[in-house]
Amino acid sequence: MDLFIEQTVSGLSTGAIYACLALAVVMIYQAIDHFNFAQGEMAMFSTYIAWYLMDDAGLGLPFWVAFVVCIIISFIGGAAIERIVFAPISDAPVLSHIIVFIALFSMFNSLAGFLFDFTPKQFETPFGHTALIDGVISAHRAGMVAVTLVMLGLIFVFFRYTPIGLAMRAAAAAPDSARLVGIRVGFMLALGWGLAAAVGSVAGMLIAPITFLTPDMMLGTLLYGFAGAVVGGLTSPLGAVLGGFLVGILENWMGTFVVGSQLKLTVALVLIIVVLLVKPAGLLGRVVVKRV
Amino acid sequence: MALLEIKGLKAYYGQIEALHGFDMELEEGEITAVLGANGAGKTTTLRAICGMVKSSGTITVGGENVVGMSTEAIVARHKIAHVPEGRGTFVRVTTEENLRLGAFTRRDKEIEKDYERVYHYFPRLKERRNQQAGTLSGGEQQMLAVGRALMLRPKIMLLDEPSFGLAPIITEELFNILGQINRDEGVSMLVVEQNANLALDISKNAYLLETGNVAMTGPADKIMDDEQVRKSYLGY
């Protein structure tokens, strides 16, 4: 029973990371109808920036200062990627988008290795690693969940209650109508990319103390994030967040009690396939009917 | 000088020229109807005014040329509210959020008050204010589209087939309200319609488009009496 509780709680904490990535993926998916395959690598690169800001060989800033600066840099970077790379090809076919995603993926991956080398780096945590509540959860994992929940709450309030959040939703859902009420759709898309990149950077900075910082640290994590997004529903940000947590817990249960830890990653893939076969819209997503 | 003046307007979809260079005017405070068969260029004309299709020639609003300006800038600067074909409802947000979006470019403090102004014309929308807009009926969505346009406090409203897909009784109600809005608020309107009778009823002037050119223009009652128009567009 102890093992079960422990695995569930630790699943919740990694689930928080998946929830962040799933949310980032869904935010971009809603705007441009495609999965951003490079979301994980963008997050990884942001984490390297944070590492550089903090490390003694870099700028040596305190954790929370680096944390905030990194979020800001990631936001600007994400918005810039939309403006420079995606705005010009907004009318291009799906395949062009996918190629660009793959290009971004390998660019960020190689660039991180080139700039910061491939040896795994230790990433500092402000929470420490002491065990809490009889060893059920480490301080860092508890902090991870707390930070994620605060951030998700802020994002929810932003989209739900501010005019600019409303305008972003409108621009993503119905760009032509949005222009007709005077919303600068391109600006809103860039803002969406910036937010997604910022959310991803938080996920990266929180998971890095557990996985160590390497250019490949996000590969598996992003797959779980995708699974979370698909399970929750690609059209529902709330669904994506819930899906992320769910995948985190399922991953641990399956890994500990059913398939063993070597096959954990397979769980994510199987989950994606099963959901797409059985309930393609996901838990909270809606079926989108398109006229052809 | 007319509030809206179109001179030598040409519009293009890729290589294809959809409007072949015509003139049109909308006087301040008046309603003007734009009639014509499918493919005559009615919708394209409205879209050109809002900068949504590539066009040449001049379109002046209050003396300023808007050809080449972005849609967002035209809406914000010249207070032109476009009620598009198919209503353009933001389906996943509530009725009231749709209205809020209509006022997106406004920075004044009166936005809250204007909800009531819209609900005064369309009481049904008030009952539905917190309902997801995609679940409204066709007639309600059309009312919402007009209400959203009103939230801009527009100088000009462009209405693209407001009667489309509505029951005759709802259409009539809607046109009555449009006439009322025009009288109460002094909003100028350019109304594109297949239902020529209704449009001519509330309009002062009318244009008849045929394949990208103006085939006839004049006071609405004259156009209504014209035998050719009656046979082709009014059906009696």
Chain B residues whose beta carbon lies within 8 Å of the beta carbon of residue A179: 52, 71-72, 75
* A29 and A229 Cβ atoms separated by less than 8 Å: yes
Determine the Cα–Cα distance for residues A35 and A44; give it in Å rounded to an integer: 17
pLDDT at residue A287, as a whole number: 66
Mean pLDDT value across residues A222-231:
91
Considering only the beta carbons, identify the residue of A166, A176, A184 that sits closest to B100: A166
Is pLDDT at B231 greater than 80 in this prediction? Answer: no
Q: Measure in Å the smallest separation between the Cα of B82 and chain A Cα atoms.
A: 6
- Please judge whether A177 and B88 are an interchain contact, meaning their C-beta atoms are less than 8 angstroms apart: yes
Q: Is residue A51 over pLDDT 90?
A: yes
Residue A204 pLDDT > 90: yes
Do A207 and A17 form a contact (C-beta atoms < 8 A)?
yes
Q: Do B104 and A180 touch (CB under 8 A)?
A: no
Lowest mean pLDDT among A166-175, B115-124, B172-181: A166-175
pLDDT over threshold 90, residue A31: no
Q: In which residue ranges of chain B is CATH 3.40.50.300 found?
A: 28-54+68-79+154-236
- Residue B195 CB coordination number (10 Å): 21
Which of A20-32 are b and which e, b meaning 16 or more Cβ less than 10 Å from the residue's Cβ?
bbbbbbbbbbbbb
Helix (H) or strand (E) holding B22: strand B16-26
Residue to substitute from B90, B91, B112, B146, interface A, most A β-carbons within 10 A: B90
Distance CA(A25)–CA(A33), nearest Å, equals 10
Chain B contacts of A185, Cβ < 8 Å?
A: 72
Instruction: Check pLDDT > 50 for residue B22.
Output: yes
Nearest-Cα residue of chain B relative to residue A165: B101
Q: What is the pLDDT of residues B27-40, one digit of tens each?
A: 999 999 999 888 88
Segments making up each domain of chain A, as ranges: 2-278
Q: How far is A174 from chain B (nearest CA, A)?
A: 7
Spatial distance between the Cα atoms of B29 and B185, rounded to a whole number of angstroms = 9
Considering only alpha carbons, which residue of chain A is nearest residue B111?
A163
Euclidean distance between CA atoms B8 and B199, whole angstroms? 25
Say if CB B133 and CB B95 are below 8 A apart: yes
A2-278 is classed CATH 1.10.3470:
yes
3-state secondary structure of B55: strand
Chain B residues in contact with A233 (beta carbon < 8 A): none
- Choose between A260 and B79: higher pLDDT: B79
Task: Classify residue A128 by its DSSP letter.
Answer: -
The average pLDDT across B77-104 equals 92
This complex has an ipTM of: 0.89
Contacting residues for B164 by C-beta, under 8 A, at least 6 apart: B85, B86, B194
- For chain A, say whether B167 makes contact (Cβ under 8 Å): no
Mutate which of A180, A189, A235 to disrupt the B interface (most B C-beta within 10 Å)? A180
Residues 6+ apart with CB under 8 A from B22: B6, B8, B9, B209, B212, B213, B214
Q: What pLDDT score does A37 carry?
A: 87
CB A14 within 8 A of CB A41: no
pLDDT tens by residue, A73-118:
999 999 999 999 988 888 888 888 889 999 999 999 999 999 998 8
CA atoms within 13 A on the CB side of A258: 10
Q: Where are the beta strands (DSSP E) in B27-166?
A: 31-36, 54-61, 64-65, 80-83, 156-160
Mean per-residue pLDDT, A141-147: 90
pLDDT at A289: 56
- The letter for the amino acid at B124 is R
Domain B28-54+68-79+154-236, what fold? Rossmann fold (3.40.50)
Q: What percent of chain A has pLDDT over 90?
A: 42
Cβ proximity of B124 and B91 under 8 Å: no
**What number of other Cβ atoms are within 10 A of residue A52's Cβ?**
17
